Amino acid sequence: MKILLLGPPGGGKGTQSKLLVSKFNIPQISTGDILREHVKEETQLGIEANQYMQNGELVPDNLILDMIKERLLKNDCNKGYILDGFPRTIPQAEGLDRILEKLNQKLDKIVVLDVKDNDIIKRMSGRRMHMESGRVYHIEFNPPKNEGLDDVTNDKLIIRKDDQPDTVKKRLSIYHKTTKPLIEYYDSKNIVFSIKGNKKIEDIHNEIITKIQNV
Ligand code: AP5
C-alpha cells in the first residue's frame, strides 16, 4: 500500500501517519522528520535546510527530491509506505512521478486532510513533539500520559521552533499558494479522497481506513 497524505501544516498528517504505520506495518516517510534529523546531525543538507525551515519556507525542490530518491530505495519500502509532507510543490510531484516510474511503482491512495486555518493555529500553539521519534502530542487534544514527557521513552517533549504564530501564518500562506494546487494535479488519477479534519483523531483514522479499504 502506497499512501500519500496531503494537507496543511498542522493538519494532522504526522498524527495520522503514525496510526497508519501501526495498522499496515509500512514506514512513514516524513520529509519534515528527515530534514529535522539532518539539522540535528548538522549534515550539509541540514545546515542548508535549517534556514528555510526556521523561516517557515520550503526547502528547495532539488534537495528534497534527492533525499526522497535515496529513501524510496531502502528495503523497508518494498511493501509500501506513507508519504507525509511530500510532495508539496508541482515540481516535486512531477519529480515523484519520474521516480515512481523508474521504480515501476504507483501511488494507491491520496488522502487530503481538510482543516481550517483557525483550527490549525490552535493546534500548532499546543503541539508538543518528541524529536527522536517524531511522535506528536497536543496539550489539550492529545496529551501525553505524563505532562511534558514522551509516552514511550519519558524524554522531555519540545516545542518546534517553526510553531511560533507568525511562522505558522507564513507556512499556511505557502500551503494555500504552492501545495494546495497538488489536489487538482492528482485529481485525474481518481485515487484522491478528502476528509474533514475537524473531528477526533481516532474518528479520522477510522474514516481513512474505511476509505482506503473500500475505494
Ligand atoms: P513538516 O514537519 O512536514 O511540517 P508540516 O507539513 O508543516 O506539518 P506539521 O508536521 O507541522 O503538521 P502535521 O500535518 O504533521 O500535523 P500533526 O500531526 O503534527 O515540515 C517542516 C518544514 O520542513 C517545512 O516548513 C519546510 O521548511 C520543510 N519541508 C518539509 N517537507 C518539505 C518538502 N516536501 N518540500 C520543501 N520543504 C519541506 O498535528 C498538529 C497538532 O495537532 C499536534 O499537536 C496534534 O496532536 C494535533 N492534532 C492532530 N490531529 C488532531 C485532531 N483531529 N484534533 C485535534 N488536534 C489534532
Rg (CA), the chain: 16
Give the per-residue pLDDT at 47: 96
The arithmetic mean of pLDDT across residues 137-159, rounded, is 96
Closest to 6 in 3D by CA, of 30, 35, 23, 40 = 30
Fill in the amino acid letter for 101. Answer: E
pLDDT above 80 (res 144): yes
Which grid cell sits at 28? 512513514
Q: Of ligand 1's atoms, which has the minimum distance to the CA of residue 128?
A: 44
pLDDT above 60 (res 114): yes
The arithmetic mean of pLDDT across residues 132-151, rounded, is 95
Please tell me the residue having the least CA distance from ligand 1 atom 39.
12
Which grid cell sits at 32? 519534515
pLDDT above 70 (res 40): yes
The arithmetic mean of pLDDT across residues 105-110, rounded, is 95
Give the per-residue pLDDT at 197: 87
The arithmetic mean of pLDDT across residues 190-199, rounded, is 92
**Which residues pair with residue 192 across a beta bridge?**
110
| Whether residue 36 lies in the annotated active site | no
- In angstroms, how far apart are the furthest CA atoms of the chain? 46
Exposed (0-12), middle (13-18) or buried (19+): which is 141, by Cβ within 10 Å?
Answer: middle
Q: Which residues line ligand 1 (CB under 6 A)?
A: 7, 9-15, 30-32, 35, 52-53, 56-59, 64, 85-86, 88, 92, 123, 126-127, 136-138, 141-142, 162, 171, 197, 199-201, 204
The end-to-end CA distance of the chain, in Å, is 13
Q: How far apart are CA 138 and CA 127, in angstroms?
A: 4
pLDDT interval class at 190 (50, 70, 90) = confident
Give the per-residue pLDDT at 10: 94
The arithmetic mean of pLDDT across residues 209-214, rounded, is 87
Please list, in sequence order, all residues whose beta carbon lies within 8 angstroms of the beta carbon of residue 164, skipping any fewer than 6 positions away: none
pTM score of the predicted model: 0.94
Give the per-residue pLDDT at 215: 53
Give the residue carrying C-alpha cell 541540514. 46
